[in-house]
Amino acid sequence: MSEFGQNKSVNLLNIRDVLKTCPSCNFVKDELRVEIGGICLSLILHNVLSVPALKSCYKGFVSSEAPDFIVELYGNENVTFAVGIERELENQGSDVFFLCNLYAAHINLADRKGFLILGSDLYPELLVPILLFFYSYIVVLYDGFLLHAAGVINDGRGYIFPGRSGSGKTTITELSKGMVILSDDRIIIRKTANSYRVFSTPFWWDFRNASNVSAELHRILLLKQDREVYYKKVGYSEAVSELLTCTFVRGLLVPYVQHVMHLVSDMVNQTDLYEMHFVRDNSFWRIPNEP
């Protein structure tokens, strides 16, 4: 039996050695290829029994495109993870090592490859934080970033509503019946030749019904629950500051954080940002002088 097949406790001190044993394992292998944010990720699944369920749950994002990034994922119930805190992260050059109580992961950003070890089978809900972890890095390589925001396509135009929990993101999506919902919590934004584009993700509660769609970004609207509906223009500095608090930059390498900051600044220069004061109905979509 290989070292990887034995009972093993993984920590940040031995994670490199354990991950090095992964490619030589002869476990049952399958592939799940997904495209999120216009970026195709190939998950090579070893010893994962729930592949049909995964493909069914993420059917809106399953792709046949050539992969931009490849991750080897190993399920193994003989592995445990020694984490002193909720999660641990270590960056070394273009290598990122991550450890939590459910899995250990390694990303090589230069080679655009990754490895991940699970202490169990890969059930659909567990794939959400795994994809979120990898895409928080991958998307920056493609002039993009993840944002805490609801996203809606109305009349072919993309609207985003940044905010933390309790700001009203889910309320906005519930009040947008008949429109295309990108997410009620996390979206991807990428720079294109002449503008920015907003993409749907499966990183929210309704990921089973989500589909892979995108639109050119039209408006950025900060949510303010109020007794009447109106818009208030937000200045450049305040707009950048508000958006940066909603980006996924914790743990990113410094050059990646700097690139996200540049993208946010450039996006605000190209896209007006407003406070949107709203009540709990869909009247905010019907204002004739919508900015």
Query: What is the CB neighbour count within 10 angstroms for residue 52?
Result: 9
Instruction: Give the end of a domain, one of 101, 116, 141.
Output: 141
- The answer to whether position 74 is within a domain reads yes
- The answer to whether position 261 is within a domain reads yes
217 and 271 Cβ atoms separated by less than 8 Å: yes
Say whether both 125 and 222 belong to one domain.
no
Sequence-separated (6 or more) residues with CB below 8 Å from residue 26: none
Say whether both 73 and 164 belong to one domain.
no
Say whether both 89 and 195 belong to one domain.
no
Instruction: Give the end of a domain, one of 115, 141, 167.
Output: 141
Say whether both 181 and 167 belong to one domain.
yes
- The answer to whether position 195 is within a domain reads yes
pLDDT by residue, tens only, the chain of 291 residues: 344 445 566 666 666 666 656 554 555 689 999 999 999 999 999 888 888 999 998 999 999 999 999 999 988 757 777 655 556 667 777 888 888 888 888 899 999 999 898 888 888 888 998 999 999 999 999 999 999 999 999 999 999 999 887 788 999 999 998 899 999 999 999 999 889 999 999 988 777 778 899 999 999 999 998 999 999 999 999 999 999 999 988 778 888 999 999 999 999 999 989 999 999 898 888 765 555
- The answer to whether position 263 is within a domain reads yes
CATH number at 170 reads 3.90.228.20
Say whether both 112 and 219 belong to one domain.
no
- Alpha-carbon distance of 120 to 134, in angstroms, equals 19
Residue whose structure tokens are 């950025």: 220
Say whether both 197 and 208 belong to one domain.
yes
Q: Within 13 Å of residue 280, how many CA atoms lie on the same side as its CB?
A: 4
Say whether both 38 and 117 belong to one domain.
yes
Instruction: Give the end of a domain, one of 98, 118, 141.
Output: 141
- The answer to whether position 290 is within a domain reads no
Say whether both 116 and 152 belong to one domain.
no
- Alpha-carbon distance of 73 to 91, in angstroms, equals 20
- Please tell me the predicted confidence (pLDDT) of residue 7: 54
Domain with 257 in it? 144-285
- Split into its structural domains, the chain has a count of 2
Say whether both 155 and 259 belong to one domain.
yes
- Global pTM reads 0.89
Say whether both 56 and 114 belong to one domain.
yes
- The answer to whether position 291 is within a domain reads no
Say whether both 265 and 172 belong to one domain.
yes
- Alpha-carbon distance of 125 to 173, in angstroms, equals 21
Say whether both 137 and 190 belong to one domain.
no
